[in-house]
Amino acid sequence: MTKPLLLTLAFAISSVYATAEVEIYKIDPTHSSVKFSIRHFVSKTTGSFNQFEGTLIVDRDDLSNSSVEAIITVPSVNTANKKRDTHLQQDDYFAAEKHPLITFKSTHWAKTDNKDSFKVTGHLTMLETTKEVILDVDLLGFGPGMKGAQLSGWEATTQIDRTEWGILGGKPAVGAEVDITINIEAVKQ
């Protein structure tokens, strides 16, 4: 995202939460990961996406007022097998040529019994299909980083049924349920 857009987002949120001070964090892809695992016959196959970006708008006084938006670049899929990675980009899976991006935009953050854990509801879009998903999110902390950077750390997990987005390839050898784990280190802007 460009700086003017980040500033516009910060202004918009600050006007809604006039007494809250929000902070904008940009996801550092070098120190973050988007990983998945899926059943393949009797075991699991794992993979990741190597290119992604996103922004968190954080209200440290009330984290339930926070938001996150992220974009994953589909052709960056990596399962440590080039043939499989190429196949995953075909029309029976991600149709990467027609739909090169996966997006997530949060709509609601709800506190859980653990003060540093949240249920984050949002819209996940793949193959031009948008579905609501709920992420289990843990705040790992805020603190200093290299060269004076201020950081925030997060871990999110969820499970989705890929067939709900029209990703039908590999059935029945490949399962429908996909476990997703996201680890984020984000840099305050």
Residue 136, domain extent: 3-13+21-188
Q: Is the peptide bond preceding residue 172 cis, with omega within 30 degrees of 0?
A: yes
Q: How far is CA 94 from CA 13, 19, 129, 185, in A?
A: 34, 43, 12, 26
Partners of 57 in beta bridges: 24, 67
C-alpha to C-alpha distance for 102 and 70, rounded to whole angstroms: 8
Task: Let me know how many helices (H) and strands (E) the chain has, helices first.
Answer: 2, 11
CB-based burial label for 189 (10 Å; 0-12, 13-18, 19+)? middle
Number of domains in the chain: 1
pLDDT for 17: 46
C-alpha to C-alpha distance for 185 and 90, rounded to whole angstroms: 31
For residue 8, how many other CB atoms are within 10 A of its CB?
Answer: 12
Give the CATH number, domain containing residue 77.
2.40.128.110
- pLDDT (tens digit per residue) in 41-57: 999 999 999 999 999 99
Per-residue pLDDT of the chain (189 residues; tens, 9 = 90+): 555 545 455 555 544 444 568 999 999 999 999 999 999 999 999 999 999 999 999 999 999 999 999 999 999 999 999 999 999 999 999 999 999 999 999 999 999 999 899 999 999 999 999 999 999 999 999 999 999 999 999 999 999 999 999 999 999 999 999 999 999 999 999
8 Å CB contact between 67 and 56: yes
